Structure 1
């Protein structure tokens, strides 16, 4: 898993979420503030995360609630504008996640120069968004057709607000996902953004696919991150970096710095890179 070090420049990296506010076409888009406000708030969050010492940042349309499983063109265009305006200010590796559309995520990554995407790329689910299907063969072929062979693919195998349509054990899912799809990493999540990932589930997945990177995908907190990183190869962190640890708020630089100080202390005690 040398690719982790090469991509993020760190052992057990922390990928911080830069949650974009509702965009044009979204039900809760701020017509008064417009795209200028979306860009400015994203800029504020980006600098709070970078200055706090995170290893990478991932831009997502987190406030495009309720989500679509096939997004509209205006969503990708709006996200590209935000990243384009901030591009010269991004000093760390970055990725993108267009919820919940892997094809759109790849398109955005290629357009902006992102190093990785995270998405639901496999499985069929009963979800809050209706019957949720995927086509990983089409997704990976699309990536290769666009010449993005080096784009890292983080497969979320425990989608939020949904359940596998068939009754499958998480170990079986992890093993078959790795065998059939060759993901760069598997992401293990809780029920929703900010909901803690079950350490038992995280352990079972990592033990099932020891040669594949496994990231803790939701609910990482100051008091739990050492335990989670003792199992996982990295973590995706969003809500805990926000003011009062609340999803709707902006990033709190003080919380980011305190969190990353603990992470760096942990990494200092576990230097061997696997």
Structure 2
């Protein structure tokens, strides 16, 4: 996919998650450590990810559990502060994800100059967060007003949720591509860190051959070759953490080992071509 290589400067890019700690207003916020602790932890993770060779980073409020589908202003503002303080250290293309609110994600992208967002932007779901509705027409118009060049990564298999309506994943992918012209479609497992079903990835890729398809969760050292054989790239979070656990900080050794394998996979792919 041409835009992927133009944005990330490689084929089959690895977009690493920089998970921000709980923010002001979140149930898990560390008031004693305050925003300074959030920024320090984000800086450490960003440093390890970039030194490990990832192709891009995506900042998300991953520890704002339980998530809102319409976030409060303090969350977006806090994320903008973190990214603003880290801006001079960011060396790779970056994106943002304000969970689970595409309008707020676009706001944050416009304020920080992010290249892309990932969100649930279309569909209606039964989820752990209640009935989850979207308004993709409003999202598209908001993007057109604030950030027309922003790339939209549509997650069509949201974590902890099921599509309301008896439609196959192939049909959902086709209609999403036709109606919304996404820059990429993301395919996920059940939760953060849960492996994405390769068969589902393949089904989506065949349904929308002209659209980039990204593996969105559960990529590991032992499955990344299989996942990249089908997908056009991957979003990677938990596998880069200490012991591969979502709750832990980034482990630089795991990042380097993973990205070295990705480089081997890319070299082999170029040799075949």
Which range, TM-score by smaller chain? over 0.9
Residues 1:165 and 1:112: Cα distance change in structure 2 (over 3 Å): same
Aligned residue in 1 for 2:130: 130
For 2:258, the equivalent position in structure 1 comes to: 259
* Structure 1: gaps (5+ residues): none
- Report the CA distance between 1:209 and its aligned residue: 0.6
Q: Is the 8 A contact 1:11 1:271 kept in 2?
A: no
SS at match of 1:230: helix
Q: How far does residue 145 in structure 1 lie from its aligned partner after superposition?
A: 1.1
Provide the residue aligned with 1:181 in structure 2.
Answer: 180
- Report the TM-score, using the length of structure 2 for normalisation: 0.99
Answer yes or no: is the 8 Å Cα contact 1:11–1:273 preserved in 2: no
**Aligned length, in residue pairs:** 273
In the alignment, structure 1 residue 139 sits paired with structure 2 residue 139: yes
Q: Deviations over 1:165-192 (max 9, x none)?
A: 1121000000000000000000000000
1:74 aligns with 2:74: yes
Which residue is equivalent to 2:104?
104
State the shift of 1:198 in Å.
0.2
Query: Following superposition of structure 1 onto structure 2, how do residues 54-73 of structure 1 map, counting pairs within 5 Å?
Result: 54-73=54-73
Q: Report the secondary structure of 2:66's partner residue.
A: coil
TM-score by length of 1: 0.98
Contact 1:157–1:173, Cα closer than 8 Å, also in 2: yes
Q: CA deviation at 1:270?
A: 1.1
Q: Post-superposition shift, 1:271?
A: 2.2
Match of 2:7 in 1: 7
Q: 1:97, CA displacement in angstroms?
A: 0.2
The secondary structure found in structure 2 opposite 1:150 is: coil
Rounded Cα–Cα distance in structure 2 between residues aligned with 1:137 and 1:273 = 42
1:206 CA displacement = 0.3
Displacement of 1:204 in angstroms is 0.3
Residue 272 of structure 1 and its aligned partner are, at CA, apart by 8.2
| 1:128–1:273 distance in 2 versus 1, CA, 3 Å | farther
Is the 1:20–1:42 contact (alpha carbons within 8 Å) kept by the matching residues of 2? yes
| Pairing 1:33–2:33 present | yes
RMSD: 1.1
Classify the secondary structure of the residue corresponding to 1:155.
strand
SS in 2 for 1:96: strand
**1: CA distance, partners of 2:183 / 2:87:** 25
Q: CA deviation at 1:273?
A: 12
How many angstroms apart in 2 are the aligned matches of 1:173 and 1:166?
10
Report the equivalent of 1:113: 113
Aligned counterparts, 1:151-190, within 5 A: 151-190=150-189
- 1:211-249 CA-to-partner distances (Å, cap 9, x unmatched) read 100000000000000000000000000000000000000
Dislocated runs of 4+, deviation >4 Å: none
Which residue matches 1:197?
196
**In structure 2, how many angstroms separate the alpha carbons of the residues matched to 1:167 and 1:160?**
18
Cα distance in 2 between the residues matched to 1:271 and 1:145: 39
Distance between the aligned counterparts of 2:57 and 2:239, measured in 1?
A: 14
* SS of match in other structure, 1:270: helix
Kindly provide the CA deviation profile for residues 132-175 of structure 1, in whole angstroms up to 9, marking residues without a partner as x.
Answer: 000000000001111x1110000000000000111210000000
